[in-house]
Structure 1
Amino acid sequence: MAKDCSFDIVSEVDLQEVDNAVNQTAKEIGQRFDFRNSKSSIALEGEEVKMIGDDEYKLNSIIDILQTKVIKRGISLKSLDYGKIEPAAHGTVRQTIKIKKGISKEQGKEVIAAIKGAKLKVQAQMMDDQVRVSGKNKDDLQQVIAKLKQIDLDVDLQFINFRS
């Protein structure tokens, strides 16, 4: 009679929204007075955002603009993995930002440890790049979601496929 309820914990990023944020950033760079006659640019290539700036100050300005656009589009800043700033041609600097998708094994272990630390009657298991949580009581599953929202992990979590 009592059947299990379950849900999946994932970390996904809508690349279309990232593309829109990058395009808005590029448009703003083209319109701003402080970027006139600048070699600064930004582009999305696959799952990486590539930026070029005249100097580190301009590069940081591009990052600030991008972060504002990304937040407005509902994407967590935890989904962005910043590379190091490198010198580029003609005295410019460049930086690459990788888009983080999926939950790594280490992050999955942290999530599962947090769930077990809640002392609820649920089971959690790692499945590829997501974590499945199952239990007999819906309330326990909702408590797991609440607990994970309180914990500050270095990955953005979404809760999908809630089955009862």
Structure 2
Amino acid sequence: MASDFSFDVVSKVDITLVDESIANAMKEVINRYDFRGSNSEITFDKKENFITLLSSDDYKIKALYDVLLTRLSKRNIPLKNFQPGKVESALGGQARQVVKIQQGIPVDKAKEMVRAIKDAKLKVTSAIQGDSLRITSRSKDELQTVMNFLRGGDFGVTLQFDNYR
């Protein structure tokens, strides 16, 4: 049996579920009366992890974003990881908005979590490993305490726990 137990804190969004949600949102947009003749579309760049909303004006962009969020929430995709940009004007008098998908925990958020764990005086060690956070302890009970502590805090990203050993 190992002397130290550990788990990873990550923040992931399932890209295939996002893709399916976007397809469902586009089906809804095509059928909705308020989007008729507006040339509204949602495109998804899987490699760069961003979604582009394109429509005739900023009001339709907001409605398009609401439809997208509704479809994402129905699939239980964490909405905290979607960061909308500003609505900007595009070619042909259209409006565009880019929504960035946050994959992984940003370094500043990870440092904030490590600081919060240290301030709580829990007997664990934490290490930032790229876009995840590794928590190690000799006691499984301490690890569960840290999990509950992190679930209770608001760090601006949705947290999942992986590799519980």
> TM-score normalised to the size of structure 2?
0.95
Q: Deviations 1:106-125 (Å, cap 9, x if unpaired)? A: 11101111111221111001
Tell me the secondary structure at the aligned position of residue 76 of structure 2: coil
Which piece of structure 1 moves more, 36-45 or 6-15?
36-45
Runs of 4 or more consecutive aligned structure 1 residues displaced over 6 Å after TM superposition: none
Matching residue's letter, 2:141: D
Q: Determine which of 120, 123, 126 is the counterpart of 2:122.
A: 120
**Separation of aligned partners in 2, 1:114 and 1:5:** 20
Q: State the partner residue of 1:37.
A: 37
Aligned counterpart, 1:78: 80
Q: Distance in 1 between matches of 2:7 and 2:58?
A: 43
Structure 2 partner of 1:89: 91
1:142 aligns to what?
A: 144
Change (3 A) 1:2 1:90: closer
Q: CA-to-partner distance for each residue in 1:26-67, whole Å, 9 max, x for gaps?
A: 110000011111111111112111111111110000010100
Could you tell me which amino acid in structure 2 is paired with residue 3 of structure 1?
A: S
Q: Which deviates more, 82-91 or 59-68?
A: 82-91
Is 1:129 aligned to 2:131, yes or no? Answer: yes
CA distance in 1, matches of 2:2, 2:134: 19
Partners of 1:118 and 1:144 within 8 A in 2: no
| CA deviation profile, 1:72-130 (whole Å, cap 9, x unmatched) | 11111111011111101221100111110011211110111111122111100111111
TM-score, with normalisation over the residues of structure 1?
0.96
Structure 1 residue 162 and structure 2 residue 164: aligned?
yes
Contact 1:108–1:131 (CA<8 Å) still a contact in 2? yes
The one-letter code matched in structure 1 to 2:74 is K
Find the counterpart in structure 1 of residue 101 from structure 2: 99
Aligned partners of 1:40 and 1:54 also within 8 Å:
yes
Tell me the distance in 2 between the aligned counterparts of 1:26 and 1:19: 11
State the alpha-carbon separation in 1 of the partners of residues 45 and 108 from structure 2.
27
Distance 2:18 2:87 in 1: 21
Coordinate RMSD, CA, aligned: 1.2
Shift of the 138–35 alpha-carbon distance from structure 1 to 2, 3 Å rule, reads same
* 1:6 CA displacement: 0.4
Q: Pairwise mapping of residues 6-85 of structure 1 onto structure 2 (< 5 A)?
A: 6-46=6-46, 47-85=49-87
